[in-house]
Structure 1
Amino acid sequence: MKGSAMGWFTEGSDHEGYVVCVFADGMYGAGGKHRQISLMAADGRTIWENGNDPDSVVWRPPSQVVGWKVACSCEPHRKHIIMDQLWTRVWDPAEEDLTGRRIYAGDPSSDDAAYVSDREDLEPLFIEQWHQHIAPELHLRTISALGEQLKQIEAQLDKAVAAARSDGLSWDKIGRAFGITRQGARSRWDTQAPGQEL
């Protein structure tokens, strides 16, 4: 799995995982600039004041962040998903409890809340949650890739058996080479009508 300033990627997946900030009114934020977080909707769209003008992005200060959630841009499905599990912000470092999903991200004047995903102790926890989201697709991709390899190997095996039979090798010898009985080999590869076997 590879991390980046934007998020996390894994081989064989068209997903990008990252952390979004949560505000008290249910809005989300991601990215931004010093002491400002750009506001976004649940579907991943940036909130603009005036159309799509890049200078009119709605910003909020990190002091308004009340928590964080793991999100994923799922390119093959053209959708943005924000996972349910909330990591709550606490205002006293003594109240931080990662097993209870309570995170201290600095006092209200700090911009640490915007960069909580950069914390080395938190990133593996966020990635683990994101990986649970992408795991089903990765399993299916693995099955598909192995299925294709298996089809190619079976085609090569069928050719090798046909060549062995052309050269007069018996079903007994072919079966032993493959680790099955003579009857098993004949049942698997013999395409001739019964009674036509040499």
Structure 2
Amino acid sequence: MGWTSNDYQHEGWVAAIAPDGRLASGSTAGGMLVHGITGRYKVAGDFVAPDQEIVPDDLIMSWRGACTCGWQGEVWQRVLTPAEADVSSRKEYCPLGDAAYVSGPVEDAVQGEWMIHIAPSEALLGVEAAAKEHRQASHRLDKTVAAAKAAGASWADIGRAAGISRQAAHERWADK
């Protein structure tokens, strides 16, 4: 399961880390899918993922946040007893023999890190939307001023309606 930014430029997920450092991009019943063929693990298959290997779940000893843009979060360590687990220390209990998935609280923490990563691009979406609205409103204002002038309104009347002086209205719209 992953998360997508509002501009669709970023997709984040919790990535299992293979013993050789490669990040998993998905999973199968047999383990985690990692890109590349090293010959150390079973190839996923011709139709499923011919360029990926399946790393057994029991070999996954850590996770981190990942994003399609290349960003990677801090590492979360796998611990083998519930007593060792501590979200504040980035330690996750995942018993051997189970699928190497993180718990809900760890996934939420990783998603929070990813949200901080995408915050600048998310904020820029607001700037882009406001700029577009500003351009549209400016164009609409230019057209309505031209219509008012064509209908016989004075520059003083137009300036008063626009909240500016007669002279400012004339300077802004006389040539349009």
User: Counterpart of 1:95?
Assistant: 84
Question: How far, CA to CA, are the matches of 1:172 and 1:60 in structure 2?
Answer: 76
Question: Given the alignment of the two structures, is residue 10 of structure 1 paired with residue 5 of structure 2, yes or no?
Answer: yes
Question: Given the alignment of the two structures, is residue 27 of structure 1 paired with residue 22 of structure 2, yes or no?
Answer: yes
Structure 1 residue 82: deviation in Å? Answer: 4.5
1:96-175 equivalences in 2 (<5 Å):
96-105=85-94, 107-111=95-99, 113=100, 115-116=101-102, 119-175=103-159
User: Counterpart of 1:36?
Assistant: 31
Structure 1 residue 158: deviation in Å? Answer: 0.3
Instruction: Identify unmatched segments of 5+ residues in structure 1.
Output: 75-80, 193-198
Structure 1 residue 20: deviation in Å? Answer: 0.9
Q: Kindly report the root-mean-square deviation, in angstroms, between the aligned alpha carbons of the 2 structures.
A: 2.7
Question: How far, CA to CA, are the matches of 1:156 and 1:162 in structure 2?
Answer: 10
Question: How far, CA to CA, are the matches of 2:32 and 2:98 in structure 1?
Answer: 12
User: Counterpart of 2:65?
Assistant: 70
User: Counterpart of 1:53?
Assistant: 46
Q: Please say which of residues 11-20 and 157-166 is displaced more in the overlay.
A: 11-20
Q: Please say which of residues 151-160 and 136-145 is displaced more in the overlay.
A: 136-145
Q: Is the 8 A contact 2:5 2:122 kept in 1?
A: no
Pick the aligned partner of 1:176 from 153, 160, 176. 160
Q: 1:13 to 1:21 in 2, by over 3 A?
A: same
Question: How far, CA to CA, are the matches of 1:25 and 1:128 in structure 2?
Answer: 26
Residue identity over aligned pairs, in percent, reads 34
Structure 1 residue 35: deviation in Å? Answer: 4.5
TM-score, length basis structure 2:
0.79
Per-residue CA deviation, residues 168-192 of structure 1 (Å, 9 max, x unaligned), is 2222222222222323322322328
Question: How far, CA to CA, are the matches of 1:16 and 1:47 in structure 2?
Answer: 24
